[in-house]
Amino acid sequence: MSESVERLTAEQKLARLKTKADEAEAKVQNAKKRAAQLRARAEREEAKMRTRADARDAATFRSQEVQRRLLLADLVLSVAKSDRDLRVTVKSLLTEADLDDESRMLVQPILAELGVAFPAG
């Protein structure tokens, strides 16, 4: 009987160990799943941050580009006003140029100041 009691106790210990092992494995799997979720969340947040930074960089570039074009427009206007021959040259260059919409918006005030109607695009 003693042998059967020992055997039963050993089987119970073995069953408890297997149960604990299963529970530990489940915890490990849950931890891995949670780690994967956190990694994915971190990657999404990083992508958002990069997108925001890219948008800020693009806005800064556009602002600098517009500022540069405005300075260039002021220079062209002052040069055109200083000399009659230059005025004629600037008028013809600006009216004959193939400009994008943004450049056209910058050129229209110059031509208006020089007394020229901007041709239809």
Kindly state the greatest CA–CA separation across the chain: 124
Q: What is the pLDDT of residues 26-63, one digit of tens each?
A: 999 999 999 999 999 999 999 999 999 999 988 898 88
11, 15, 34, 37, 110 from 25: Cα distances, Å: 21, 15, 14, 18, 76
Q: What is the pLDDT of residues 2-12, one digit of tens each?
A: 777 777 788 89
CB 110 within 8 A of CB 74: no
Q: State the Cα–Cα distance between residues 57 and 63, nearest whole angstrom.
A: 10
| Predicted local distance difference test score (pLDDT) of residue 103 | 78
Instruction: Tell me the pLDDT band of 1, cut-offs 50, 70 and 90.
Output: low
Which tokens belong to 95?
A: 């009216």
Residue 17: how many CA atoms within 13 Å on its side-chain side? 6
Average pLDDT over residues 62-75: 84
Supply the pTM of this predicted model.
0.47
| Predicted local distance difference test score (pLDDT) of residue 120 | 59
Average pLDDT over residues 69-81: 82
